[in-house]
């Protein structure tokens, strides 16, 4: 054997640099399902099924091309982790070299390199050209910047790609239409939203479901609703469905939430993108085409392109820039355990029971549910960032560390002290009341800070300001909120502190 091409579960891309120069006569592809990848974060069953099913479908595609795929399936080998499984096969096949593209998790960069070194086999790691901003380009952009900001990076990427540009100026005279993207649905709720295209499990996916139930039956979440795209053809259909039915309203209601409506106008494309079944270029170009053809407004298309060309590329750059230390960041010194309700949804707080419920049912919640419900509550409560990270990595079908960690530690928990977000995303229950219908029918009142009907978000919001008063008193975007806290007299502050302490003892 000449080259063994190591392919990880989130590298399912026929155009991958791993295949450059591939010669089926002398090269082979190596893929493995190992328990460690399913259990180091206690993965949702849907996350396991989407990864394993997409991997098995991809292996079939490669075999149909006449390529050799050495596939180590769950239960068919004795190895606990990737390093062990690879080491055994390097001994058996004795390839001249191993080739892989940049893994999406820092720990695997080392695991693959060290395993090959121990076996005395040359290891080549190639660029992951799925991304629009190669890591050296991001490093050059970061160089000398004290305070990196996504907006600056995004403008640089707009210029780099020429997308939504008129010469050197942004299309429509604005870089960003975010202020058009904050609508809630009002009391009557959303108009009927076109249901996203579903992909009922085929025979191979059903086989994988049985494997997951057998080996990982005690893992969180259910499979009854599983309908995610697991092949490139399905992912392309999902993209087309989003662009034609939901993209035109994407931006306007991006921050809105509604009971029983997990998808609203969201794309549902993150998992297909992160598995590399879809390429970010083709996804953005499909949206740009819809705008040019007059089928989607500029504000919606700009908002969507910003998520992918801006946020998605930015968080990847930051992740590799800040690893390995990023995992240990805890700028606010948060030390509480993650409440059990994150795994069960069992709580009287309706916003949390809805969001965790969607998460357990589908392996999905949309961005504002992740940021301003589950993320916000953990931040206000003061949960250890590492525990929050482990939860987000476990429960979403799109979770891979390069994208999950900066969003969780940086954007949602402010654990990096302001690298990813310029201020902590803190708000009281009134934000949730404004952006959703969750508070209707909840036994708490988002306007109340203390007392039996006080909304826990509101109590903990004021408590957060109180606990971090010194740190944020001079912060340009938080000092107004701290000034409001200063208006509370001593009895009000004592009552607030007592209520927050009792919440930490016993959550509703
Ligand atoms: P849409 O809302 O329709 O957005 C379109 C696309 O833009 C997404 O498919 C995604 O590829 C990209 N995108 C949007 N926001 C972000 C962002 N902040 N960072 C990176 N890409 C973005 N996204 C993941 O892909 N994997 C994760 O593990 C993940 N963890 C998150 C954890 C927290 C605490 C938060 C606040 C956000 C997280 N996100 C993560 C970002 C975002 O919530 C999801 O990408 C989005 O909800 C996926 O659903 P969608 O495809 O319907 O996206
Ligand atoms: Fe959530 Fe508070 Fe609203 Fe209840 S009242 S749904 S706990 S924000």
Structure pTM? Answer: 0.97
Between CA 204 and CA 184 the distance in angstroms is 40
Distance of CA 485 from the midpoint of ligand 2 (Å) = 21
Question: Which residues make Cβ contacts (< 8 Å) with residue 118, sequence separation at least 6?
Answer: 87
CA 369 to chain centre: 12
Tens of pLDDT, residue by residue over 197-234, are 999 999 999 999 999 999 999 999 999 999 999 999 99
Contact 349 CB / ligand 2 (< 6 Å)? yes
Choose the residue to mutate in 347, 351, 508 for probing ligand 2, maximizing ligand atoms within 8 Å of C-beta: 351
Tens of pLDDT, residue by residue over 284-317, are 999 999 999 999 999 999 999 999 999 999 999 9
Question: Which residues make Cβ contacts (< 8 Å) with residue 159, sequence separation at least 6?
Answer: 165, 168
From the alpha carbon of 433, which atom of ligand 2 is closest?
A: 3
User: Which residue's CA is minimally distant from atom 38 of ligand 1?
Assistant: 407
Question: Which residues make Cβ contacts (< 8 Å) with residue 169, sequence separation at least 6?
Answer: none
The pLDDT of residue 179 is 77
Q: pLDDT category, 237, cuts 50, 70, 90?
A: very high
332-341, 350-359, 418-427: least confident range:
418-427
Q: Do 263 and 365 contact (CB within 8 A), yes or no?
A: no
User: Which residue's CA is minimally distant from atom 20 of ligand 1?
Assistant: 312
Contact 141 CB / ligand 2 (< 6 Å)? no
Tens of pLDDT, residue by residue over 151-167, are 999 999 999 999 999 99
- Residue 103 has what DSSP assignment? P
From the alpha carbon of 445, which atom of ligand 2 is closest?
A: 5
Q: Which ligand is nearest to the CA of 352?
A: 2
Ligand 1 pocket, CB under 6 A: 266-270, 273-274, 307-308, 311-312, 315, 366-367, 370-371, 375, 392, 396, 398-399, 403-404, 407-408, 411-412
Distance of CA 364 from the midpoint of ligand 1 (Å) = 10
Contact 257 CB / ligand 2 (< 6 Å)? no
- pLDDT above 90 (res 193): no
- pLDDT above 80 (res 410): yes
From the alpha carbon of 349, which atom of ligand 2 is closest?
A: 7
The pLDDT of residue 91 is 97
Report DSSP letters for 381-431, one per residue: HTB-HHHHHHHHHHH-TT--HHHHHIIIIIIIT-TTSSSSSSS-----HHH
Distance of CA 10 from the midpoint of ligand 2 (Å) = 36
Q: State mean pLDDT over 367-396.
A: 98
User: Which residue's CA is minimally distant from atom 1 of ligand 2?
Assistant: 351
* DSSP strands (E only) in 354-409: none
Distance of CA 270 from the midpoint of ligand 2 (Å) = 28
The rounded mean pLDDT for the chain is 96
Q: pLDDT category, 187, cuts 50, 70, 90?
A: confident
Contact 449 CB / ligand 2 (< 6 Å)? no
- pLDDT above 70 (res 254): yes
Between CA 351 and CA 386 the distance in angstroms is 23
Q: State mean pLDDT over 115-136.
A: 97
Distance of CA 355 from the midpoint of ligand 2 (Å) = 12
Residue that is written with structure tokens 């298309």 in the block: 301
Contact 432 CB / ligand 2 (< 6 Å)? yes
Q: pLDDT category, 184, cuts 50, 70, 90?
A: confident
Instruction: Residue 131: name the closest of 310, 351, 2, 367 by CA.
Output: 310
The pLDDT of residue 181 is 67
Phi-psi region of 328 (alpha: psi -120 to 50; beta: other; left: phi over 0): alpha
Q: Which ligand is nearest to the CA of 401?
A: 1
Q: For a pLDDT cut of 90, what percent of the chain falls above it?
A: 92
Q: Which ligand is nearest to the CA of 279?
A: 1
Distance of CA 498 from the midpoint of ligand 2 (Å) = 20
Contact 427 CB / ligand 2 (< 6 Å)? no
Tens of pLDDT, residue by residue over 66-104, are 999 999 999 999 999 999 999 999 999 999 999 999 999
Between CA 462 and CA 428 the distance in angstroms is 8
Q: Which ligand is nearest to the CA of 411?
A: 1
User: Which residue's CA is minimally distant from atom 8 of ligand 2?
Assistant: 429
Q: pLDDT category, 191, cuts 50, 70, 90?
A: confident
- pLDDT above 80 (res 182): no
Other Cβ atoms within 10 Å of 377 Cβ, number: 25
The pLDDT of residue 78 is 96
């Amino acid at each position: 054997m000449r080259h063994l091409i190591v392919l990880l579960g989130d590298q399912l891309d026929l155009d991958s640099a791993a295949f450059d120069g591939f010669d089926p006569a002398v090269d082979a592809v190596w893929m493995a399902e190992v328990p460690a990848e399913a259990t180091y974060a206690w993965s949702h069953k849907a996350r396991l099924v989407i990864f394993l099913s997409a991997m098995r479908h991809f292996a079939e595609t490669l075999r149909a091309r006449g390529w050799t795929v050495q596939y180590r399936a769950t239960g068919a080998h004795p190895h606990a982790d990737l390093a062990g499984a690879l080491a055994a096969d390097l001994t058996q096949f004795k390839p001249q070299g191993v080739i892989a593209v940049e893994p999406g998790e820092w720990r695997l960069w080392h695991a693959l390199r060290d395993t090959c070194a121990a076996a005395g086999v040359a290891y080549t790691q190639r660029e992951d050209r799925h991304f629009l901003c190669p890591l050296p380009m991001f490093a050059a952009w970061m160089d000398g910047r004290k305070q990196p900001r996504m907006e600056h990076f995004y403008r640089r990427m707009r210029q780099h790609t020429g997308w939504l540009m008129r010469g050197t100026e942004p299309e429509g005279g604005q870089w960003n239409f975010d202020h058009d993207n904050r609508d809630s649905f009002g009391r009557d709720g959303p108009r009927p939203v076109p249901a996203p295209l579903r992909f009922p499990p085929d025979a191979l996916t059903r086989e994988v479901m049985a494997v997951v139930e057998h080996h990982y039956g005690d893992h969180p979440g259910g499979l009854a609703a599983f309908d995610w795209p697991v092949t490139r053809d399905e992912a392309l259909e999902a993209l087309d469905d989003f662009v034609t039915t939901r993209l035109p309203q994407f931006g306007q209601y991006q921050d809105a939430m509604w009971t029983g409506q997990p998808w609203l106008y969201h794309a549902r494309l993150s998992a297909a993108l992160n598995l590399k079944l879809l390429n970010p270029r083709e996804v953005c170009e499909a949206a740009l085409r819809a705008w040019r053809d007059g089928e989607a407004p500029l504000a919606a298309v700009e908002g969507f392109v910003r998520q992918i060309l801006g946020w998605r590329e930015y968080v990847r750059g930051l992740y590799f820039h800040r690893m390995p230390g990023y995992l240990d960041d805890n700028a606010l010194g948060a030390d509480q355990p993650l409440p059990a309700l994150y795994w069960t949804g069992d709580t009287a707080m309706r916003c949390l029971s809805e969001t965790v419920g969607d998460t357990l049912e589908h392996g999905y919640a949309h961005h504002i549910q992740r940021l301003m419900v589950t993320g916000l509550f953990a931040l206000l409560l003061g949960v250890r960032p590492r525990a929050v990270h482990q939860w987000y990595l476990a429960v979403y079908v799109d979770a891979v560390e390069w994208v999950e960690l900066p969003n969780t530690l940086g954007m949602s928990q402010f654990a990096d002290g302001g690298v990813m977000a310029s201020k902590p995303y803190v708000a009281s229950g009134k934000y949730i009341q404004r952006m959703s219908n969750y508070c209707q029918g909840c036994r708490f009142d988002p306007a109340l800070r203390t007392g039996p009907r006080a909304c826990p978000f509101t109590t903990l919001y004021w408590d957060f300001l109180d606990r971090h008063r010194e740190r944020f008193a001079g912060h340009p975007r938080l000092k107004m909120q701290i000034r409001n806290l200063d208006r509370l007299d001593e009895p009000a502050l004592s009552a607030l502190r007592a209520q927050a302490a009792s919440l930490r003892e016993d959550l509703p």
